[in-house]
Copies of this chain bind each other. A is one copy, B any other.
Amino acid sequence: MDRIVYVNGDYVPESEARVSVFDRGFLFADAVYEVTSVLDGKLIDFAGHARRLQRSLGELEMPAPVDEETLLQIHRELVVRNGIEDGLIYLQVTRGAADRDFAYPEDATPTLVLFTQAKPGMADSPASRKGARVISIPDIRWGRRDIKTVQLLYPSMGKMMAKKAGCDDAWMVEDGAVTEGTSNNAYIVKGRKIFTRNLSHDILHGITRAAVLRLAREAQMEVEERTFTIDEAKAADEAFTTSASAFVMPVVEIDGVQLGDGTPGPIARRLREVYLDESRKTAI
């Protein structure tokens, strides 16, 4: 590993990419993040991620460390310096470093960190051709999942529960209804109609979700945004998830129940194709 990482204005080797132990991102999870995909060296839906970052910062009354144009330049610089063809750019903003106190500091400078993850061939991953097997787990996260904070311990635990069950991911369930996957939005298809949970504080307002729903509607697919139960999901014709890093990922099994013939469904495959085509066209 010898990536170049961005930390508060400097481009440094990853072994030197450090933050203060007094950083509120480290002490209080007082931080938000974004992950932007790179395909063919270009950024997918950068504007969407920049917009959501602004929203997250606003919800937490956290100042923005740099403006959107500067953020774009940093993304591009990291793509070039790390020779990223296909991969991810991770960005995190924290409220900054200050002596430990629950109350927000009055004079802290926000911390800005970005790094890359190379994922050669991510648009044609074997996982997406096979489809994901998921388990369901109770959703015990906090009540503001629409803010993209780094409070990701439970999603991490969920991913480990899935691994231990020999599966790929977990769908979280609250009051009988699916909220979302550990790091993606969840969808089912029944009678060629696509169902996904409506936006609220209960789920992340996925950038890929917004794009995929728009493309589905443009392709005359029927879409309904409403809660659906885990039982509906198990009885669905097909299912899938969306995220910036995995695009559209077919789901072929839920809690041991095979969906359809156990292979990626036609609507998920079609949406993945359409989303990737559109993303490549509009990448910057």
Contacts and interface: CB of A to CB of B under 8 A. Distances in A.
B18 A152 contact: no
Contacts of A182: 102
A103 B150 contact: no
The contact size tier of chain A is 35 or more
A200 interface: no
Interface in A6-59: 7, 14, 17-31, 33
Contact of A154 (B1, B138, B142): B142
A14 B22 contact: yes
23 contacts: A14-B21, A18-B21, A19-B21, A22-B115, A23-B26, A25-B26, A26-B31, A26-B150, A27-B152, A29-B29, A29-B153, A30-B156, A61-B160, A102-B152, A102-B159, A103-B159, A104-B160, A138-B143, A140-B143, A141-B142, A141-B143, A151-B151, A151-B153
Instruction: Sort A-B residue pairs by CB-CB distance and give the 6 closest, nearest first.
Output: A140-B143, A18-B18, A29-B29, A102-B159, A28-B152, A151-B151
Interface of A: 1, 5, 7, 14, 17-31, 33, 60-61, 90, 92, 99-100, 102-104, 113, 115, 117, 138, 140-144, 149-160, 163, 182-183
